[in-house]
Structure 1
Amino acid sequence: MHRATTSTRRHDREILALALPAFGALVAEPLFVLVDSAVVGHLGTPQLAGLGVAAALLTSAVNVFVFLAYATTAAVARRLGAGDLAAALRQGIDGIWLAVLLGALVLAAALPLAPPLVELFGASATAAPHAVTYLRVSALGVPAMLVVLAATGVLRGLQNTRTPLVVAVAGFGANAVLNVALVYGAGLGIAGSAWGTVLAQWGMAAAYLTVVVRGARRHGVPLRPDAPGIRASATAGVPLLVRTLSLRAVLMIATAVAARLGDADVAAHQVVLGLWSLLAFALDAIAIAGQAIIGRHLGADDAEGARDACRRMVRWGVVSGAVLGVLLALARPAVVPLFTSDAAVRAELMPALLVVALVQPVSGVVFVLDGVLMGAGDGPFLAGAMLVTLVAFAPAALAVLALGGGLTALWWAMGLFMLVRMASLGWRARSGRWIVTGAVRA
């Protein structure tokens, strides 16, 4: 009994030590866009509208490559668990080189394609020039952000989430100061906001690279690109890319359905989606801890430790989800007026947010198991499972339109999406097939 209690406390300390700093870093990242919006908003409505279009394009481009963090975390943690720190750093460097290559490709495509992409997103004639300007300048920061993703994965794999928190907070502060100085002090307008963000992003990338390079030199790890290692990193990332694209498709379908329900519905949907995403950051912090801890246990050939950690993190997910759900349900009367004074939008928000609150315990399990399986390198299953949930969600969402349902019905369909994910991930976790030990997943 005492041994079990000691093990539980050890897992709890590990989870908290990794999850709390990870949560801070996750929350700091979207604040970049909020700062840009606050600064640019005072230039005028066309500039703010242009920023909205460009930011949506840039966020989508970066989020597609989030596998650079996830796959790198799992691979580095395995090698760390196996006691081979040099190999862990080598794996991380391969992931960073992959990020550099992908960033160069995105930059090369974004510069000439900025005008047609902005037009595709339906920017107005007055907003489009500002969107193109912001997009072209900000594209220069995409390689830096992909390097940040990969380097964040390296440090998470090394069980270090404090450095990403410090870098994220410093980057946020630098971005705020540079935006004000360049937009108003230098009079550069919306281009100044973009340049401020780019400089902050490259500063973050430089900070990460300094930490990783120092570690590599300390352990005699070469920094030059290694073609087989880069290919291996890309191969490991493909299933997670499929998973991410499937998730993005679900969110796009939900927004498209909401847009067809009416102006009040789509306005309320954006608020609900924003709050849902904010809650997801808290739960994703536990998932990030799961990636690092599970990868390390499996790399150390500790299958039982991985199972114990998984069980404990699932409990954390359920409890965290329940707490967040209760807080959201109780806070709705106070939260809704912060976003809108429109009675029609408020009427849609109240029941939809209650659905989100009720689903939070399910979301807690889903996020944790997603992180556990990522840490185990179980990418192919995650890709297949997400495709299955996409197939289940699409007809449910479209049925909302066909049956004359409203926003609340749409978010019940989102709840179904999470339930299907929980069922598939729970089945995989119980099967034990994700438990493959060793420094490299065979």
Structure 2
Amino acid sequence: MRQDPTAQLSVRRMLTLATSAFLVLAAEPLYLLVDTAVVGHLGAHALGALAVGTTLMAVLAIVGTFVEYGTTSRAARWFGDDQRDRAVDEGVQASYLAVVIGVVVVVVGQLLAGPLVRLLTGSSTELQAPAEQWFRIALCGMPMVLLVLAGNGWMRGVQLTRAPVVIVLVANGLSALASPLLVYPLGLGLVGSAWANLGAQVVAAGLFLRALHRETAGRRPDLGVMRAQLVLGRDLIVRAAAFQAAFMVAAGVAARMGTAQIAAHQIGMQLWEFTALLLDSFAIAAQSLVGAALGASHARVARQLAGQVSRWSFGAGTAFAAVYAAGWSVIPRLFTSSPAVLHQAHVLWPWFVVMLPAAGIVFGLDGVLIGAGDVAFLRTITIVAALGAFVPLTLAASHWDWGIGGVWAGLTAFIMVRLVGMVRRARTERWVVLGSG
């Protein structure tokens, strides 16, 4: 049976987009891994404070989820329907929203910084002051963080591959060079990490805005488009909130277990986020291509892409699992020399390795369904997995002294529940909605 040439073209395009997304996604977590390694050698307390600060930043960043994924989905449908101008306009309106929302988040975050830090650190007073100081500095970059998300969103929607790679690599490369210099030779310690982080966000946001201005000089806010983005964004924000609430509970439980546990959890979470974002490269390619295929009313191509991205993501997840299994002794030593932290890292390691092949499929289908605009289902399955599996197991680990391994068993259950729900959904026709409107 002869394969549809349109599908062949889409698969080739998916590889190109996935490669671009891989490079963009790798830049941020690679910088965070460098930063974690730099801070880790300041001691377990500094690493634990960094864990608290980065967790809070991730929680607040959920308000901008839709300016990236929602923009990709909407822009891709216009692009598939040969309306590139309207696709780029999605990026303009998302950027306006990013600035407004970012400023609000900075103000609210600064007012609540103390209570938020204490919520995670509990009675661990040695972590509170450095974590709050790091958080207050990094928080000032939130408008830039959201502008970068919006920039990535519209560029992926119109299938630009080179520009976002250059922008993100330049910004994070400069920051990776600045972090060790600020932390050690200039003597800023932990806060040097926060200033390096802020610098990367300013550079990246400026470069994305420059690229957008070249495409759409002088375009004004459009409240109708913004309203439509917010409607789509509502479910994406709730979905992201379920993620971050669960991860916040896990970080809080780990912090209360002890300094070694929260430090090991920080190492595990940075590696997890690094791997998750790299696995997301196929998902992001699927967002763009599935959205474009449905916008052009090519249902069969969209379904073929869903199957292809699932297979590739599973293979990538399995490959990462093999690498981490082989490096179980060596990799944690890149981040700490503390015997207590290393021991706790080895406790969580088997859970980390086992979940990765299933996570690959989950992330791939996540991209397919976001590209199709099926975000209400994604919201529901994420809430069910977080509140029905992840959070209960994490709290049980605290109550019955299961240790850090219990927290990571909860994360594994979170992935498995989503896997079952999303595979079942992908086998139906309910997500295959055609047209650009």
TM-score (norm 1): 0.85
- Contact kept, 8 Å, 1:156 with 1:292, in 2: the verdict is yes
Q: Return the alpha-carbon distance in structure 2 between the equivalents of residues 369 and 30 of structure 1.
A: 22
Q: Return the alpha-carbon distance in structure 2 between the equivalents of residues 166 and 110 of structure 1.
A: 31
Number of the residue aligned with 1:280: 276
Q: CA deviation at 1:427?
A: 1.4
Distance 1:352 1:307, change over 3 A: same
Distance 1:185 1:264, change over 3 A: closer
Query: Which secondary structure does the structure 2 equivalent of 1:332 belong to?
Result: coil
Number of the residue aligned with 2:366: 370
Q: CA deviation at 1:432?
A: 1.4
Number of the residue aligned with 1:252: 248
Structure 1 residue corresponding to 2:298, chosen from 290, 302, 316: 302
- Contact kept, 8 Å, 2:25 with 2:277, in 1: the verdict is yes
Number of the residue aligned with 1:436: 433
Number of the residue aligned with 2:220: 224
2:393 is aligned with 1:396: yes
TM-score (norm 2): 0.86
2:159 is aligned with 1:159: yes
* 1:388-425 deviation per Cα after TM superposition (whole angstroms, max 9, x unaligned): 11232133344445565444454333322211101111
Distance 1:73 1:321, change over 3 A: same
2:234 is aligned with 1:235: no
- Contact kept, 8 Å, 1:77 with 1:299, in 2: the verdict is yes
Q: CA deviation at 1:196?
A: 4.9
User: What letter corresponds to residue 321 of structure 2 in structure 1?
Assistant: G
Query: Which secondary structure does the structure 2 equivalent of 1:65 belong to?
Result: helix
Number of the residue aligned with 2:422: 425
Alignment of 1:255-270 (within 5 A): 255-259=251-255, 265-270=261-266
User: What letter corresponds to residue 312 of structure 2 in structure 1?
Assistant: W
Q: CA deviation at 1:260?
A: 5.5
- Contact kept, 8 Å, 1:22 with 1:162, in 2: the verdict is no
Query: Which secondary structure does the structure 2 equivalent of 1:412 belong to?
Result: helix
- Contact kept, 8 Å, 2:51 with 2:266, in 1: the verdict is no
Number of the residue aligned with 1:175: 175
* 1:206-229 deviation per Cα after TM superposition (whole angstroms, max 9, x unaligned): 211121222224xxxx61111122
User: What letter corresponds to residue 323 of structure 1 in structure 2?
Assistant: A
Q: Return the alpha-carbon distance in structure 1 between the equivalents of residues 398 and 181 of structure 2.
A: 48
Name which of structure 1's ranges 280-289 and 355-364 shifts more when overlaid on structure 2.
Answer: 355-364
2:94 is aligned with 1:95: yes
Structure 1 residue corresponding to 2:408, chosen from 403, 411, 434: 411
- Contact kept, 8 Å, 1:98 with 1:234, in 2: the verdict is no
- Contact kept, 8 Å, 2:44 with 2:263, in 1: the verdict is no
Distance 1:105 1:364, change over 3 A: same
Q: Return the alpha-carbon distance in structure 1 between the equivalents of residues 186 and 257 of structure 2.
A: 44
Distance 1:145 1:272, change over 3 A: closer
* 1:57-109 deviation per Cα after TM superposition (whole angstroms, max 9, x unaligned): 33432244222101000000000001111111122211111111101211222
Q: Return the alpha-carbon distance in structure 1 between the equivalents of residues 397 and 332 of structure 2.
A: 24
Number of the residue aligned with 1:62: 61
Alignment of 1:46-85 (within 5 A): 53-85=52-84
User: What letter corresponds to residue 85 of structure 1 in structure 2?
Assistant: R
- Contact kept, 8 Å, 1:355 with 1:411, in 2: the verdict is yes
Q: Return the alpha-carbon distance in structure 2 between the equivalents of residues 411 and 310 of structure 1.
A: 29
User: What letter corresponds to residue 93 of structure 2 in structure 1?
Assistant: D
Query: Which secondary structure does the structure 1 equivalent of 2:67 belong to?
Result: helix
Distance 1:327 1:51, change over 3 A: closer
Q: CA deviation at 1:319?
A: 1.3
- Contact kept, 8 Å, 1:98 with 1:233, in 2: the verdict is no
Name which of structure 1's ranges 307-316 and 414-423 shifts more when overlaid on structure 2.
Answer: 414-423
Unmatched tracts of structure 1, length 5 or more = none
User: What letter corresponds to residue 375 of structure 2 in structure 1?
Assistant: G
- RMSD of equivalent CA atoms: 3.4
2:375 is aligned with 1:382: no
* 1:313-350 deviation per Cα after TM superposition (whole angstroms, max 9, x unaligned): 11111211222222222222333444556666555544
Larger CA Rg, structure 1 vs 2: 1
Alignment of 1:30-45 (within 5 A): 30-33=29-32
Number of the residue aligned with 2:18: 19
Query: Which secondary structure does the structure 2 equivalent of 1:159 belong to?
Result: coil
2:191 is aligned with 1:209: no
Query: Which secondary structure does the structure 2 equivalent of 1:72 belong to?
Result: helix
Q: Return the alpha-carbon distance in structure 2 between the equivalents of residues 152 and 146 of structure 1.
A: 10
Name which of structure 1's ranges 278-287 and 40-49 shifts more when overlaid on structure 2.
Answer: 40-49
Q: Return the alpha-carbon distance in structure 1 between the equivalents of residues 405 and 43 of structure 2.
A: 34
Q: How many residues align?
A: 435
Structure 1 residue corresponding to 2:350, chosen from 349, 354, 358: 354
User: What letter corresponds to residue 326 of structure 2 in structure 1?
Assistant: L
Number of the residue aligned with 1:105: 104
User: What letter corresponds to residue 323 of structure 2 in structure 1?
Assistant: L
Number of the residue aligned with 2:141: 141
- Contact kept, 8 Å, 1:8 with 1:312, in 2: the verdict is no
Q: Return the alpha-carbon distance in structure 2 between the equivalents of residues 205 and 385 of structure 1.
A: 33
Distance 1:341 1:25, change over 3 A: same
Distance 1:107 1:409, change over 3 A: closer
